[in-house]
Amino acid sequence: MRRILSFLSGIIVGGLVGATVGILLAPSSGEEVRSQFQERTIRLRDDIKAVAEARRAELERELAALRAPYKKE
């Protein structure tokens, strides 16, 4: 569990640092930068959702496997 939290933390921090550096060094206008920032934020959110859903599915499979020997039929 710690590895997943560390991974997700790394993604979030990396995204924020990358976005900040991009904003500071961008040769674009403010409106263009805001638009790009919004697009990147949406992509980051979608990536985090996908990772969370994949992990949830994996944990549900593991839980089902652990419960299987105790399941009454």
Name residues whose C-beta falls within 8 Å of residue 27's C-beta, 6 or more positions apart in sequence.
none
Q: Is the pTM of this model over 0.85?
A: no
> Residue 33's pLDDT is what?
76
Model pLDDT, residue 19? 83
What is the residue-level pLDDT of the chain in tens, covering all 73 positions? 778 888 888 888 888 898 888 777 767 677 887 888 899 999 999 999 999 999 999 999 999 999 988 877 6
b/e for 5-32, b at 16 or more Cβ within 10 A? eeeeeeeeeebeeebeeeeeeeeeeeee
The CA–CA distances, whole Å, from 34 to 5, 19, 30, 40 equal: 29, 10, 6, 10
